[in-house]
Structure 1
């Protein structure tokens, strides 16, 4: 199903003139230098350096490229200097001689009988070229081992882009009979089945040369005497299609991917529209360069959070796909695969934001935080490099499929709060979302004084005690939160008798200047303590879910204080 969806996406991209994806038999490759030939096949001028100011190669469309293992396999009309010029700077001249011979042989085979002056020039060059001359080329030290293409002197464009070259290469591919035939699992057609597929690039942590989505290279993985990818037969054209589509999604500037560490999520739909940028925006992908589009996407998020479907996302029944990948040595592992519709995706994203909904402390805080923003809040030092790739993949899957959130989300949020004693909007929102979805708790956006959950009530009580200290001892070096927050949430019976008693001393100080405020604070304490079962008293310990409620009660009580203070200031 994954390969079928990717192959269909490739067909959609080919129909889109703005997508700029190569046709079957061609691909994008980094090329470093270009050799110019005259009509007689002689080198004309210095090699042209195609690299940018940072030394990065120019990624251009070329025939192929071939998939190499340990054998000799040449590309057509371009390759590294070992193949093209017979010198790769290495210490194995016998192998280099074979690679150069393979390059010449393929060019002779493909261009045989082609009536084109560029073809004649290239064949003449190869017939006359002596690899010993390679080191005499200007700038050879920079060129050796890198990829090289050709052009005809005085004419624009590369030789491999000339219509005659492209047509000759297409005919060569059509006549290729080197592969065994079989029935394709993707298209159902019978045709040549390549033993290996193109490498997938752009997944952090995978090999720099790329990794395989499908690969069989040990006997234990093979069946019925079939070797390599004949165990999972895919037509050459279909293999090219899925690999090209996936590499397009994983391109460095792709707006259809989100990455955290070594976890990469790509997504696409069956029809063009704003569903793809909407989902990318919701997940924390690459920010749209168009400010108008960004504003529209935020509007769509607000709409789905209210349960409304934005018509601009297209037909709700349009299929929508999400694929999670991670590296595994020379292969890629599929973390999750989701097939749904645009409408289902929008509904699940909206439901996610409804479970997250919580009163914000500051207007600058994101109303619709992405998974990336949420998990960065849980990373040590809030450093994106410390974010958990595993938790990111699990969270995205929960959002996309409307599944319960991972259990580790709650423990990670509580653990981070215990570590740095900071309870903020994003952390509290994650805890609320977990408890609402996973434990079916009913938690409003703002303070709920009727909530009888012991964790919630004790969190409120702690916030009141902290407020009393702030009023009575402003600027204290060690606050009650610094000293007791984590232990009060975990072992209330050991901590609360101490801090409630100390709060009474603080109330005595407040009564001198603000007697009315002291009365209100004391009433709040008595209301909460009075609601605790006298027979059991403060619980000896609280499990993680009650600690989560403790944090929510604390956060919402603090927010209530801030809200009242701001209101009084305005009045």
Structure 2
């Protein structure tokens, strides 16, 4: 399903002219070898461009559309018209001169095979270069001396003849297209992606730009051990994928991953999304509505478009027609050594995804502090609430990230790992943030529990609630306010010492806290003392004759929500005054 969706997406982009044709791909090039008609190396020119990385401007290799490079393993495999110094010049810094010479000879043989008989001065110049070049003289060649260290660093090289790159010559391009289309270097089998019979690719091209994976690329489909093989088939012949399909799905996925504006991080997963018809507008709207990306349009336009799409109406955004019934895909990839693991793959209509995301945001809606600048809570911020922000590794649990995303976009129950992660952070840090309160509210709205009634799952304070754990949380907030008012500038309040134990064993902790509050009330002036005394009396009257001896995890969630609601209510009133 994943490979089929990516292959269809490749066809869509190819029809629009937005992606490389079969047999061609984007390669990063550092230097160009300028050659003469007789094959002599006249000059070496850097083709690197200035790019901004962070706050610095650095020279980086230039992306060029070149013949698709082969995927190298331990063997010798030359590329056509673009390769490193070991293959083009027979020189590198790897300390294996014999192997380097073999690489040069293989590259020479490939170019002679393809360019022999091509009636083009460009092709003949390349052939002359390989036939006259002496690898042992490379280190002393005058054209290479000024940039020798840079060339040996491993960057890719291309040829240039009379001011033009060799790969731009029409006859040379025609030779490569013919070779790629007719190459039959594998068995003939039925492709599982397209259903057509043809040559099967034994090693698929690499997938790049997945965070945490190897910079040279990793495999999405790979069989490299006897345990993965069956019926005597080796490598990717176990899941036959045609030459075209292998090129199409890898090119489309690399195209998505190279678009940094529409690539998102979810735990250890790198997430991409796309519509079957292509277009950035779908990705922009989903990125804003769900992943918390910076909006590319005005907030009014986005909210209007979101409302209409959720109702099933098509809208026009940035001169592009958005269809709520358009197929939409979301793919999450995680690194695994030299391979990639599919963390999740979701497929639905665009409108259905947006409706599920909106329902999730409505469940999360809760009163927010005045300093919180987020109108809605993006998914990455929710996951951050389960992580110790003082630790060196701030990555959420890998499985939890995928489970949460799947639950939100399919509108199913939230995973228990999300609740456990938040409860652990609250217990460890004695802190109730907006994100943690929102998670508790959303979790119990979707995953209903008899100990958590809907009367406590409100956006703001519910003063009419009779739920005992909820009112205990409110009481704890009032007692903390009394302590702070009696001791201005206090460094640590009762929250720092008693919050976890008060929510778990209130019968042990609250008698101590209420007695302590009476001493604090004596320090306050008449009006403030009366105000807090009335609040304490009202809340105590809702608790019955005794405190609960202990509370379970859902009841502790009610306690924490009551505390958060009461605290925000106190600050809201202060802000109004």
CA distance in 1, matches of 2:572, 2:299: 30
Partner of 2:8: 8
Residue 355 (structure 1) shift = 0.4
Partner of 1:402: 411
Q: Which residues in structure 2 correspond to 1:338-417 (within 5 Å)?
A: 338-362=346-370, 364-381=372-389, 386-390=394-398, 391-417=400-426
Query: For 1:172, which of 163, 169, 179 is the aligned residue?
Result: 179
Q: Is the 8 A contact 1:283 1:396 kept in 2?
A: no
CA distance in 2, matches of 1:435, 1:489: 17
CA distance in 1, matches of 2:532, 2:494: 16
1:43 and 2:41 correspond: yes
Residue 24 (structure 1) shift = 0.9
1:192 and 2:199 correspond: yes
SS of residue matched to 2:32: strand
CA distance in 2, matches of 1:16, 1:452: 62
Residue 532 (structure 1) shift = 2.5
Mean Cα displacement is larger for which, 404-413 or 230-239?
A: 404-413
CA distance in 2, matches of 1:199, 1:191: 21
Q: Is the 8 A contact 2:292 2:377 kept in 1?
A: no
Residue 175 (structure 1) shift = 2.0
Residue 116 (structure 1) shift = 1.6
Partner of 1:333: 341
> Residues 306, 165 of structure 1: CA spacing in aligned structure 2 closer, same or farther, 3 A cutoff?
closer
1:230 and 2:261 correspond: no
Q: Which residues in structure 2 correspond to 1:421-500 (within 5 Å)?
A: 421-439=430-448, 441-442=453-454, 443-500=457-514
Q: Is the 8 A contact 1:287 1:294 kept in 2?
A: no
CA distance in 1, matches of 2:292, 2:206: 24
Residue 97 (structure 1) shift = 2.4
What do the CA deviations read for 1:125-167 (whole angstroms, capped 9, x no partner)? 11111111211222222212432100113x23x2112222211
CA distance in 1, matches of 2:167, 2:310: 54
Residue 539 (structure 1) shift = 2.1
Residue 69 (structure 1) shift = 1.0
Q: Which residues in structure 2 correspond to 1:12-31 (within 5 Å)?
A: 12-17=12-17, 19=18, 21-31=19-29
CA distance in 1, matches of 2:60, 2:203: 28
> Residues 66, 306 of structure 1: CA spacing in aligned structure 2 closer, same or farther, 3 A cutoff?
closer
Partner of 2:62: 58
CA distance in 2, matches of 1:294, 1:243: 35
Partner of 1:526: 537
SS of residue matched to 2:447: helix
Query: For 1:104, which of 104, 108, 115 is the aligned residue?
Result: 108
> Residues 424, 91 of structure 1: CA spacing in aligned structure 2 closer, same or farther, 3 A cutoff?
closer
> Residues 159, 285 of structure 1: CA spacing in aligned structure 2 closer, same or farther, 3 A cutoff?
farther
- Count of aligned residue pairs for this structure pair: 555
What do the CA deviations read for 1:282-336 (whole angstroms, capped 9, x no partner)? 3436535x4x3576446656x4899787734721111111111111111111111
> Residues 299, 170 of structure 1: CA spacing in aligned structure 2 closer, same or farther, 3 A cutoff?
same
CA distance in 1, matches of 2:203, 2:109: 22
> Residues 190, 112 of structure 1: CA spacing in aligned structure 2 closer, same or farther, 3 A cutoff?
same
> Residues 344, 378 of structure 1: CA spacing in aligned structure 2 closer, same or farther, 3 A cutoff?
same
State the TM-score, normalizing by the size of structure 2: 0.90
SS of residue matched to 1:336: strand
1:552 and 2:561 correspond: yes
What do the CA deviations read for 1:221-275 (whole angstroms, capped 9, x no partner)? 1111111111101111110111011111112x42332114531111111123522
Q: Is the 8 A contact 1:305 1:350 kept in 2?
A: no
Residue 496 (structure 1) shift = 0.5
Give RMSD over aligned pairs.
2.4
Q: Is the 8 A contact 2:219 2:339 kept in 1?
A: yes
5+ residue gaps, structure 1, are none
What do the CA deviations read for 1:15-42 (whole angstroms, capped 9, x no partner)? 334x3x2111111122221100122222
CA distance in 1, matches of 2:305, 2:445: 23
CA distance in 1, matches of 2:69, 2:413: 43
1:208 and 2:241 correspond: no
Residue 513 (structure 1) shift = 2.7
What do the CA deviations read for 1:81-125 (whole angstroms, capped 9, x no partner)? 111111223333332222112111111222222222111110111
Partner of 2:54: none
Q: Is the 8 A contact 1:323 1:336 kept in 2?
A: yes
Q: Is the 8 A contact 2:290 2:357 kept in 1?
A: no
Residue 215 (structure 1) shift = 0.6
Q: Is the 8 A contact 1:348 1:402 kept in 2?
A: yes
Q: Is the 8 A contact 1:356 1:433 kept in 2?
A: yes
Mean Cα displacement is larger for which, 81-90 or 163-172?
A: 81-90
1:242 and 2:249 correspond: yes
CA distance in 2, matches of 1:316, 1:142: 51
Partner of 2:271: 265
CA distance in 2, matches of 1:545, 1:435: 8
State the TM-score, normalizing by the size of structure 1: 0.91
